Amino acid sequence: MVRSMKATIDRIDQGIAILIDREDDTLQFRVPVSLLPPASREGDILSVTFERDGAGTKEAKEKVSGLIQELRKCS
Amino acid sequence: MSRTSLFPAKAGACLAVLLVITLLATGCSDLSGTRSGSSLDQNTTGDLRAYILDVGQGDSSVILFKDKVILIDAGEADQGDTVVKDLKNLGVKKIDLLVATHPHADHIGGMQKVLANFEIGKVLDSGLPTSSSLYEHFLETLDKKKIPYLVAEQGQTIDLDPSLRILVLSPPKERLGDDINTNSIVLRISYGTVNLLYTGDATTPAEDAMVKSGYPLDAQVMKVGHHGSSGSSSAAFLLRVKPEVAVLSLGEKNDYGHPHKETLERLNAAGPRLYRTDTDGTIRVVSDGSTFSVTTENGAVDFWRVATPATTAPATATPAPGATLPIPSITLNATDLASAIPSPVSLPVTLPPVQIGNVSGVYISGVRFDAPGDDRENLNGEWVTVSNRGDEAVLIAGWTLSDRTGSDTYVFPAVLLLPSSSVTVFTGSGSMNDTALYMGRSSPLWGNTGDTAVLRDGAGTIIDQKDGVW
């Protein structure tokens, strides 16, 4: 399932971009500029997409479970 | 500091009532109408009350003058309620002038709440198109409510009250690129001899442009630009502003490292007393037009002084003959000087290279427009005093003094105004000396029912202006 939103880069200060949801002015979040597409600048409207990574989640869980198993064996 | 509202609201709970009493006792509230608990009370009254509100990381300033209200910025969206509550506790019902210095969320976020709660006289905006949805919604609300809308431009003055001068120092008509901070609105608000400077988030390129513009920048109280970011408050700008009090509006442990170390170093070098909303809370400045005091949220009056001694009589300071001048910062030869001066001035042709000096120190220190008795019989009863409170001598040759209409203009002869000296220009005739100049007119110049003396340099740039009603 993919959800997407539009946000404006309100400003960039000290390497942090303040993004504001175009639907809700009170919803803002801070993102390091290094994570934004190159050449992004103040005033740009960004399309932000959230996608659940099912395989990645499963893999990470399995890795942690494996570590727990390992640690329990050694104790 | 984090808080919900500076001023105590009416509360039923015992604890809240106790808090109200405590705050009243320390003189924090303006709701009581009078202040108490300070021996400096007599010095803290005045028609001008200016607040730099503690809105966390952001800006919001209120200026109350007699029955007029100015709000400059409204903080982040989540501070809108705080700003509204503070304004209501100050007794505000209508905002005569609402200023949006620039459309960043930490300055205009709270505007919707303000627009929903108060009648607005007019809005002064930077008018730089940006795609911000917050800004779009702000403009939509202004449009829907049919609120008069004005785009700021350097040199503009806004009339709210005859004794309050509001001058737009930035941005210039030709905008400074498309950077939003750089094109912030900068206002100089003057009452008598007290000047307050609100810089928004203006950056050093904007500061440089203001320094070059020739407009008066000196201000006893300065809201430091861009929350103390190193990209603002250049040494050259501070040298011109010469603030006695500088206020930083910022949030505790903010994400940007404000105030930056370099800015603090420059501010410390410039010497003003520093206040900051993250540690001092809301800061209040009260002025009667010639003195001012600063109070912090804890209620203590910890800064008070006479801004500039009001000139009530022609100045008598006489520069010492052959006084040593500071090292010239700009030199001009006689040819350049002559071309900078409008005709019909005739100058001694043998002028050596002279220093122009830092013109920001020159101002109109006193006026008397209404001569005692019949003006026509007492032309020298009308006068305007021009003083230099800077550190450098300033050549005011070719500068002009004119009235509100601009139709009557007096051109200064070759006068070098030394630091801490004054010269008084009388309307009638007399023999010129170090402290007195005569226009040689046969009729009065200044209007008795209120006029404005405007001082311009040789290029026609306004250096200072002073209203008078006497």
pLDDT single digits (tens) B124-157: 999 988 888 899 999 999 999 999 999 999 999 9
Average pLDDT over residues A49-75: 90
- Chain A positions in Cβ-Cβ contact with residue B105 (cut-off 8 Å): 10-11, 18, 20, 25, 28
CA distance B363 to B385: 9
CA distance B15 to B407: 64
Angle, alpha carbons B439-B443-B449 (nearest 5°): 105
Average pLDDT over residues B244-265: 94
Q: For residues B395 and B423, is the Cβ–Cβ distance under 8 A?
A: no
More confident residue, B165 or B408: B165
In chain A, where the domains are located: 2-74
Nearest-Cα residue of chain A relative to residue B112: A25
Contact A11 B180 (CB under 8 A): yes
Nearest-Cα residue of chain B relative to residue A13: B256
Beta strand segments in B11-104, E: 48-52, 61-65, 68-72, 94-100
Closest CA of chain B from A53, distance in Å = 30
Nearest-Cα residue of chain A relative to residue B131: A43
Contact B132 A26 (CB under 8 A): no
- Chain A positions in Cβ-Cβ contact with residue B228 (cut-off 8 Å): none
Whole-complex ipTM:
0.78
Contact B180 A45 (CB under 8 A): no
- Which residues touch B420 (CB under 8 Å, ≥6 apart)? B317, B388, B389
Residues on B contacting A at a C-beta cutoff of 8 Å: 77-78, 104-106, 109, 112, 130-134, 137, 179-181, 229, 255-257
Contact B134 A14 (CB under 8 A): no
* Most distant CA atoms of chain B, gap in Å: 80
Average pLDDT over residues B449-464: 85
CA distance B251 to B163: 34
Average pLDDT over residues B359-376: 82
Contact A8 B77 (CB under 8 A): no
Nearest-Cα residue of chain A relative to residue B129: A43
Instruction: State the pLDDT at residue B371.
Output: 79
**A12 has a pLDDT exceeding 70:** yes
- Chain A positions in Cβ-Cβ contact with residue B132 (cut-off 8 Å): 8, 10, 20, 43
Angle, alpha carbons B252-B258-B261 (nearest 5°): 125
Cross-strand bridge partners of residue B295: B284, B301
Q: A2-74 adopts what CATH topology?
A: OB fold (Dihydrolipoamide Acetyltransferase, E2P) (2.40.50)
Q: For residues B184 and B171, is the Cβ–Cβ distance under 8 A?
A: yes
Q: What is the band of B307 on the pLDDT scale with cuts at 50, 70, 90? A: low
Contact B257 A14 (CB under 8 A): yes
Three-state SS at B78: helix
Closest CA of chain A from B74, distance in Å = 14
- Chain B positions in Cβ-Cβ contact with residue A21 (cut-off 8 Å): 133
Contact B104 A11 (CB under 8 A): yes
Instruction: State the pLDDT at residue B95.
Output: 98
**B304 has a pLDDT exceeding 70:** no
- Residue among B54, B42, B20 nearest B279 (CA): B54
Q: What is the band of B466 on the pLDDT scale with cuts at 50, 70, 90? A: confident
Contact A30 B255 (CB under 8 A): yes
Q: Which of B105, B130, B181 sits opposite A18 (nearest CB)?
A: B105
The whole-angstrom distance between residue B398's C-alpha and the CA centroid of its chain comes to 26
Closest CA of chain A from B229, distance in Å = 9
- Chain A positions in Cβ-Cβ contact with residue B256 (cut-off 8 Å): 13-14, 16
> Looking at the whole model, is its pTM more than 0.80?
no
Here the tokens at position B156 are: 């503009």
**B412 has a pLDDT exceeding 80:** yes
Closest CA of chain A from B3, distance in Å = 19
Domains of chain B listed by start with CATH number: 11-29+330-468 (2.60.40.1260), 37-306 (3.60.15.10)
Tokens 């500039």, residue? B308
- Which residues touch B102 (CB under 8 Å, ≥6 apart)? B108, B126, B128, B180, B181, B183, B184, B185, B200, B201
Q: Which of B106, B137, B257 sits opposite A25 (nearest CB)?
A: B137
CA distance B25 to B419: 44
* 3-state SS track over B294-329: EEECCCCEEEEEECCCCCCCCCCCCCCCCCCCCCCC
DSSP letter assigned to residue B135: H
Contact B255 A16 (CB under 8 A): yes
Q: What is the band of B21 on the pLDDT scale with cuts at 50, 70, 90? A: very low
